[in-house]
Amino acid sequence: MSTQSVVTAIKVIETISLHQPIGLSDIAKQLDSSKATVLRMLNTLKELNWVAQSESRDAAWSLTIHAYAVTARASIGANIRDVAIGPMNGLQLDTQETVHLCVPDGDALVVVERLDTPHVLRAFLALGTQVPLHASATGLAFLAASTDAYVHEILGGSLEKVSDQTKTQPNSVWQLIKESRERGYSINEEGLSSGITSVGAAIVGSAGTPVGCVSISGPSSRIVAAKFEDYGTAVARTAREISDLLGQPWVRAVIATLSE
Amino acid sequence: MSTQSVVTAIKVIETISLHQPIGLSDIAKQLDSSKATVLRMLNTLKELNWVAQSESRDAAWSLTIHAYAVTARASIGANIRDVAIGPMNGLQLDTQETVHLCVPDGDALVVVERLDTPHVLRAFLALGTQVPLHASATGLAFLAASTDAYVHEILGGSLEKVSDQTKTQPNSVWQLIKESRERGYSINEEGLSSGITSVGAAIVGSAGTPVGCVSISGPSSRIVAAKFEDYGTAVARTAREISDLLGQPWVRAVIATLSE
DNA sequence: CGGGAATGGTTCATTCAGTGAACCGACGGT
DNA sequence: ACCGTCGGTTCACTGAATGAACCATTCCCG
């Protein structure tokens, strides 16, 4: 059904997004589409200023800042992002570690905001990065705040081994989730990336369902077991603050004023 | 020519982006297109998970996080963003004010990164915000680093009055640009928003052309004239650091390691 | 060297996907 | 009860989207 030329156009965009500077033939190959079709899409998108090709000999294509700006200024995440930035800042000052804000996109989380640590040795994820639910502090916190039905749906799927220490056994992950529920915050020791430990907590909407997560991340040499409780309570408090703010409509107006 | 169904699809996306939650008829009206066509686009984009409609009675449409994630993880800005984050952090620590990173999109700048101040009273722009060249510290810095030909092209266009204090006379703006060139940094006193003063400097690429800008912003009560020079030299130094880093290819690899 | 297999890009006949006017049912205000 | 609006649907027409076959380059490897 429905407008397959638009479908291929969007798929072209998503393919470029995943493979950064990429050539015409490669895109056509990935989409199982003819080069002619793909090229017409690219030219149209170029006219619209959504893609550009490098002027070097390979003529590879990439997305433009314009495409980013269009999607960045809208999107549901904008609201939670603006509301969350205050409490996140406090958390960053308290812990001096990198703070991440993630929101769900399909069966994964996406990083939509980040505050950095002043430390030279640091951990951070680029904005827009996809984070798996089973292999991150934010993901575990999100699952801990989700229904058992959803958790088991995720655990029943394929649990990708992201780092050496990623737990890929449903039982092991389930154990981490149970612990997170008891504690009120989640801990992920090097499951997303070797050498990085994170502590996270879920932000819940008015309906009680999780709408996002915050976490702090740093090298395992600094985020040691002795600090888990301090960091965990701080993260959980921050998540609760954001949750509370989301429930109060007037916040939107105040933030709007400050950001003008 | 070229694939006008894709053109309308993208225009639908851009229209939604500008008007946040918006109804079917409004979109059709803005695009001078039939509701049937627009609705088919919306349904296609919905299947692709780029737009969603509120489940409330008005059934308004908005962009999804997925759309944001797709464009955020790619885009030219990603490189400069990752490179800039280090020096920006230093600047934030030194000045304790909000730090913005902007890159050009057409004849405007777009905010692609921000580091917040710990102060309660603060100034910030949402990521993805369009910033006019003539009415912002970043824009003035960008123009100061641009060719006279380009500056006059911009000054010859319409200079929108963004705030009460926005300078809309080409001569006045030209004066600000000249001062910025002499100083090495730009100052914008409440031209973008009443009560907010910013200091900015341009990041230049290997070809010597400006590729972006950094700035610090805060309430005019804190960013006072006596501090302009200190802040200005700090901002200029940061911009130079980023410029230098951009010239050194190896940095890319280091950042990639840290961000994993 | 020199051929072969990539690459980016073009052409063109076939056909099917995209188009908008007219339409429907449901709200919401007067 | 009316009118105007909303979101969404129907349908006949047609021109826009498609991919196989086609260049012109470049680059690699024997």
Cβ B89 vs Cβ A116: under 8 Å:
yes
pLDDT (tens digit, 9 = 90+) per residue, A97-118? 999 999 999 899 999 888 877 6
pLDDT at residue number A106: 87
Domains annotated on chain A, with CATH: 4-70 (1.10.10.10), 75-255 (3.30.450.40)
pLDDT (tens digit, 9 = 90+) per residue, B158-187? 999 989 999 999 999 999 999 999 999 999
- The 3-state DSSP class for residue B65 equals helix
Residues 6 or more apart in contact with residue B172 via CB below 8 angstroms: none
Question: Rounded to whole angstroms, how far apart are CA atoms A192 and B77?
Answer: 25
Mean pLDDT of A177-188: 96
Question: Rounded to whole angstroms, how far apart are CA atoms B117 and B24?
Answer: 40
pLDDT (tens digit, 9 = 90+) per residue, B75-107? 555 578 878 888 998 898 889 899 999 999 989
Residues constituting chain A: 260
Between residues 155 and 194 of chain A, which touch chain B (CB distance below 8 Å)?
A: 193
Cβ B55 vs Cβ A110: under 8 Å:
no
pLDDT (tens digit, 9 = 90+) per residue, B6-58? 999 999 999 999 887 899 999 999 999 999 999 999 999 999 999 988 877 77
Two structure tokens written together for B200: 């900015």
Mark yes or no for CB contact A10/B48 under 8 Å.
yes
Residues of chain B with Cβ-Cβ distance to A82 below 8 Å are 126
CA distance, residue A179 to nearest chain B CA (Å): 26
- C1’ C5 / CA B197, Å: 60
pLDDT bucket at B258, cuts 50 / 70 / 90:
very low
Neighbours of B251 (CB within 10 A): 16
Between residues 94 and 113 of chain A, which touch chain B (CB distance below 8 Å)?
A: 103-106, 110, 112
A256 pLDDT more than 50: no
- The 3-state DSSP class for residue A156 equals helix
Residue B25, CB, less than 7 Å from strand C?
Answer: no
Out of A7, A43, A103, the one facing B48 most closely (by C-beta) is A7
Report which of residues 41-80 in chain A place their beta carbon less than 7 angstroms from any atom of strand C.
42, 53, 58-60
CA nearest to A81, candidates B125, B88, B22: B125
- The 3-state DSSP class for residue B190 equals coil
Mean pLDDT of A60-79: 80
pLDDT at residue number A211: 92
CA nearest to A151, candidates A111, A178, A182, A189: A178
A250 pLDDT more than 50: no
pLDDT at residue number A155: 96
| A40 and B CB contact within 8 Å | yes
Q: Looking at chain B, which residue has its C-alpha nearest residue A39?
A: B2
Report which of residues 12-31 in chain A place their beta carbon less than 7 angstroms from any atom of strand C.
23-26, 29
CA nearest to B214, candidates B196, B231, B193: B231
Cβ A112 vs Cβ A81: under 8 Å:
yes
Q: Which of A5-14, A193-202, B63-72, B78-87 has the lowest mean pLDDT?
A: B78-87
- CB-contacted nucleotides of strand D (7 Å): 5-11, 16-21, 26-27
Neighbours of B237 (CB within 10 A): 17
| A209 and B CB contact within 8 Å | no
Burial B73-83 (b: 16+ CB within 10 A, else e): bbbbbbebbbb
Q: What are phi and psi of A113, to 5 degrees?
A: -155, 150
pLDDT (tens digit, 9 = 90+) per residue, B105-160? 989 999 988 887 767 666 678 778 889 999 999 999 999 999 999 999 999 999 99
Q: Looking at chain B, which residue has its C-alpha nearest residue A43?
A: B2
CA distance, residue A6 to nearest chain B CA (Å): 5
Report which of residues 36-65 in chain B place their beta carbon less than 7 angstroms from any atom of strand C.
36-37, 40-41, 57
pLDDT (tens digit, 9 = 90+) per residue, A197-228? 999 999 998 778 899 999 999 999 999 999 99
* 3-class secondary structure per residue, A174-198: HHHHHHHHHHCCEEEECCCCCCEEE
Residues constituting chain B: 260
Cβ B132 vs Cβ B108: under 8 Å:
yes
